[in-house]
Amino acid sequence: MYTTLISAADLAGHIDNPAWVIVDCRHDLMNLSAGREAYAAGHLPHALFADIETALSGARRGADGAFRGRHPLPLRADLVATLRNWGIDDDTQVIAYDAHGGMFAARLWWMLRWIGHPAVAVLDGGMAAWQAAGLALSSDAPAPKTGSLTEGAPLVATVSAADVLDNVKTGNKVVLDARAADRFRGENETIDPVGGHIPGAKNHFFKDNLGPDGRFKDAAQLKAELAPLVGDPHKAIMQCGSGVTACHNLLALEVAGLPGAALYPGSWSEWCADPARPIATGT
């Protein structure tokens, strides 16, 4: 079972395994059709396409009308139904990939763990690693099949905006923001309406989890870099702009042998939507 990362070589050895499901998570936050267009132009053999905006996100507003962020989690039952429609069973090995260093694939990795499915991994290096190995792409969509995945107990933790607000007051937990440093400081904000960060948060840009080759750094290096930031991971909260790249930091923590941190799914996009919540700028 692969539970964090898989190399292109190892995936190639299983590419025709009918018990494996491969999911293309390519996306562009500024061009919402780019992922699907890239998939149509060529993808890993047998891969399905996951739309971050629909398949891997829920309604932006809750029953009370409150904004839940740009990529709120779907209902667990809805996610299970989506995964079944992709042919996923309880014993299926799922592999997620993208062309962005795992930026979007890590979201699917985390979500499968959220519904209790441990057999999920991210293709280390993504499309670039696959193509660098000289491996073929396909433009054929796989035949649809229905899986029998059952919903299990979460293997990961989440916190709400109210939990984070309480933590701003108590400081009991470390909050780690996965956005780029300038957005964390409140500069060059082009996605959300308000710039800044959650008071007391630290910054660890998700791309810092990767080496120059676009693959994740090894476990020892990740631990050396992340452990001083998070301390006890069970007392840490990961967030970002909308709950996507925070999953990259969660994956890096898992690779580093530092499991247990929680995700704030709404992240900055939900947080800054309520003017009553405090914000900070600068470092």
**Predicted pLDDT at 144:** 86
**Which tens digit of pLDDT belongs to each residue from 78-109?**
999 999 999 999 999 999 999 999 999 999 99
Residue-level pLDDT at 200? 97
Q: Which of 104, 100, 95, 89 is nearest to 56 (CA)?
A: 104
Which residues does 281 contact at the CB level (< 8 Å), separation at least 6? 185, 186, 195, 196, 197
Q: Residue 62: what pLDDT? A: 86
pLDDT of 39: 97
Distance CA 201, CA 184 (A): 9
Specify the amino acid at residue 222. L
Q: Give me the active site residues, please.
A: 240
Query: What confidence score (pLDDT) does residue 29 get?
Result: 87
Q: Which two tokens stand for residue 97?
A: 């990939």
What amino acid is encoded at 260 in this protein? G
Q: What is the pLDDT of residues 243-254, one digit of tens each?
A: 999 999 999 999
Adjacent-strand bridge partners of 116: none
* Whole-prediction pTM: 0.96
pLDDT at 231: 96
pLDDT of residue 94: 98
- Give the chain's residues under pLDDT 50: none
